Structure 1
Amino acid sequence: MPIKSVNDLFVHEISDTYNAEKQMTRSLPKLARAATDPELSQAFEDHLQETRTQVERIEQIAEACGFKIKRIKCDGMEGLVEETMSLVDLIGKGPILDAALIGSAQKAEHYEIAGYTSLCLLAQKLGYAEAIPLLKASLEEEQETDRRLGLLAEAAQIEEAVS
């Protein structure tokens, strides 16, 4: 469907984000199983629950704003997930894989942060007041997950991977 208005762009971008979050709900359990560090595994499990809530928020936004989520594939997230899974196949379980998982997860978080930031701006421009707090809640969760991953990257269990 062609994008001819800012509203069309918003619907497209939120549909893309919806698909990205759905992809994350399928990949996070695999990352949790691949991680060696129990804190990292728990971070992935915790984020899985948040991601499920983010999917529900997008559904709430679509209903409140009166549009249907389009069935599109988020190519960006698909690429990030594929890249991560290839690292899981290339690296044996242990601190090096944990370091790779953190880096890959942070790439995905930064991608999502950019998407939610853009959606907040579009919702504001379009006057979708009911969407803004829901989008900001998801944005804050993505930022917190990125911060948590950064702290795990600095942890001693990960540092041994570089020595």
Structure 2
Amino acid sequence: MESLKAGTKSLDNMEDLFIEKLKMLYDVEDRLVDALPKMADAAADAQLKRAFDEHAEVSRRQKERLAWCFDWLNVEAETSTCEAIKGMISDGEVIMKADGDPDVKDAALIAAAQGVEHYEIAEYGAARTFASRLGLDDIADLLQQTLDEEAQTDHKLTDLAASRVNPSAQV
């Protein structure tokens, strides 16, 4: 299936939009399962490393939940390229390769990760709303569970930045 970017996909109803959103989120989680361990390796702070590793596992479970949604809908679990996440991961790769103060680099990694979290919160919120509109309450509940996990991760990153990383970073 071609992505919306290709300009050939038709969105004729909310179900089309919802399925396209799920495919895009499947791509997001697929890419994050690969990117988060690399971010953990690049982080200097032990708690930040652990947070990235833990969220990689959470992303694996979220991807499994999305696969369940596809099964429930009798739709093939496939991705629709998410250009936004590709760009955010690319920005993170630049940070990971950068030289400089390790604490400053960790602060940059947290900021990049929070950008991803905020994007996921927006996209999962939209998907949950679409599922509710379509009367797919079980799927809406699963998407809400993921939305809650993304908010928890964002709060954890904020706490790490405020209590450990940012105060240690060279001014």
8 Å CA contact retained: 1:11, 1:69: no
Structure 1 position 100 matched with structure 2 position 114: no
Quote the residue 1:161 is aligned against.
169
User: Runs (4+) of structure 1 moved beyond 4 Å?
Assistant: none
**Alignment partners' CA distance in 1, 2:83 and 2:27:** 9
**Alignment partners' CA distance in 2, 1:57 and 1:93:** 38
Three-state SS of the structure 2 residue aligned to 1:51 is helix
Counterpart pick for 1:19 among 3, 7, 27: 27
Quote the residue 2:54 is aligned against.
46
Quote the residue 1:87 is aligned against.
95
TM-fit CA distance, 1:84: 0.8
8 Å CA contact retained: 2:26, 2:78: no
8 Å CA contact retained: 1:36, 1:93: no
**Alignment partners' CA distance in 1, 2:100 and 2:37:** 18
Once superposed, what is the RMSD of the aligned Cα atoms?
1.2
**Alignment partners' CA distance in 2, 1:71 and 1:16:** 6
Q: Write the letter of the residue equivalent to 1:107.
A: G
RCO (CA 8 Å, sep 6+): is it higher in 1 or 2? 1
TM-score (structure 2 length as normaliser): 0.91
Cα deviation code 1:68-115 (max 9, x no counterpart): 234321111000000111112223361011000000000000000001
Q: How many residues align?
A: 163
Distance 1:157 1:70, change over 3 A: closer
Identity of aligned residues (%): 31
Three-state SS of the structure 1 residue aligned to 2:150 is helix
8 Å CA contact retained: 1:106, 1:146: yes
Quote the residue 2:80 is aligned against.
72
Q: Write the letter of the residue equivalent to 1:74.
A: C
Structure 1 position 60 matched with structure 2 position 68: yes
Q: Which runs of 5+ in 2 are unaligned?
A: 1-8
Q: Which runs of 5+ in 1 are unaligned?
A: none
Pairs within 5 Å for 1:115-130: 115-130=123-138
**Alignment partners' CA distance in 1, 2:101 and 2:31:** 23
